[in-house]
Amino acid sequence: MNKILKAARTRFALVGAIAATAATSASAAAVDTTQITAALTEAGTAAAVVGSAVLVVVVGIKCFKYIRSAM
């Protein structure tokens, strides 16, 4: 029973600390996030290009095996 109560107190303390941090952060000055957003957009575009290239290679290998087995 003591372990359960100790775990509950720890969780409530953690939630309280997070809430206090969020309240403090909300009153802080606004942060410019345009550079971060641009970097994430560029990274997403690069990831899409790499993913497409990998997909083309995988499909190409499967088609080659399919055509080879038909001969």
| Top-confidence residue, 27 or 68 | 68
Q: Is 45 helix (H, G, I), strand (E, B) or coil?
A: helix
What is the per-residue pLDDT for 24?
56
Nearest-angstrom CA–CA distance, 23 and 20: 5
In the block, which residue shows the tokens 């290679």?
A: 57
DSSP state of 1: -
What is the per-residue pLDDT for 14?
63
pLDDT tens string 14-62: 666 676 666 555 555 677 788 888 898 999 999 999 999 999 999 999 9
What is the per-residue pLDDT for 31?
76
Please give the structure tokens belonging to residue 2: 């003591």
Cut 0.75: pTM above it: no
